Amino acid sequence: MRSYYEQRALEYDDWWFGRGLFAQRDRPGWEQDVAALKAALGALPPARTLDAACGTGFLTEALPGELTGLDQSERMLEVASARLPDAGFVVGDALAPPFPDDAFERVHTAHFYGHLLPDQREAFLAEAARLAPELVVVDSALRPGGEAAAWQERTLNDGSRHSVYKRWFTAAGLAAELGGRETIHAGAWFVAVSAVRSARSRPRPTGCPHRARPAPPRGRRSP
């Protein structure tokens, strides 16, 4: 997965904009749902936010407040930092974020949670709860007649093929899984849920994975 997204960095936004290998995809209502999703994220109250596995920052730019992006791909962060020069960006693992407890008011993640296997989900949710009282998860909507989970073979522009695990969600199903309080967006292609946890109820991971040292932040702000 790590090498896949590093290789995909310069073509990742083709998925959002319907370019390249995605130009001929039949995605009715896609552009409208992308716009509605970004508007829903933009309507959130401003908060000191970590965007975990932020990728190219396509959705990061919709988030209100002081922004820090975290991603394991340096190439992704090069694109993101050019898009958002006033945000801070750190190279690191979203399953072991290199930040202290309560460093943020919100953790946001998009199209990352749906790639995680069960033990990885548990680790991520524990880390998100450690870092902030609110978690916002954006992921792919379960399409009519579609399967909820699958291993996919994906092809990049250079012809390389990669095996990727992927899940799709209903808004209600994702909210139930996260213990969510609010559905932010429920569209044809995307769902977004906010889960708010009190300080007392935040889970603490056991056997927490080793935290790698963060690379120097890129941009003007970082925690």
Do the Cβ atoms of 151 and 164 come closer than 8 Å? Answer: yes
Distance of CA 44 to the CA centre of its chain: 16
Looking up residue 57, the CATH number of its domain turns out to be: 3.40.50.150
CA–CA distance, 65 with 127 (Å, rounded to integer): 21
217 within a domain of the structure (yes/no)? no
- Find, among 9, 212, 181, 186, the residue nearest to 94 by Cα: 212
pLDDT for residue 179: 87
Do the Cβ atoms of 113 and 173 come closer than 8 Å? Answer: no
64 within a domain of the structure (yes/no)? yes
Domain that holds residue 194: 2-201
223 within a domain of the structure (yes/no)? no
50 within a domain of the structure (yes/no)? yes
221 within a domain of the structure (yes/no)? no
pLDDT tens digit at each of 223 positions of the chain:
677 878 888 899 999 999 999 999 999 999 999 999 999 999 999 999 999 999 999 999 999 999 999 999 999 999 999 999 999 999 999 999 999 999 999 999 999 999 999 999 999 999 999 999 999 999 999 999 999 999 989 989 889 998 999 999 999 999 999 987 799 999 999 999 999 975 434 444 333 333 333 333 433 332 3
164 within a domain of the structure (yes/no)? yes
CA–CA distance, 32 with 29 (Å, rounded to integer): 5
No. of helices (H) and no. of strands (E), the chain:
6, 9
Beta bridge partners of 51: 69, 108
Pairing of strands 106-110, 134-140: parallel
**Total number of domains in the chain:** 1
CA–CA distance, 139 with 189 (Å, rounded to integer): 9
> The pTM is what?
0.86
Do the Cβ atoms of 82 and 12 come closer than 8 Å? Answer: no
Phi, psi angles (nearest 5°) of residue 131: -90, -30
Tokens of 193: 């849920």
218 within a domain of the structure (yes/no)? no
Do the Cβ atoms of 202 and 130 come closer than 8 Å? Answer: yes
46 within a domain of the structure (yes/no)? yes
How far apart are the two ends of the chain, measured CA to CA in Å?
27
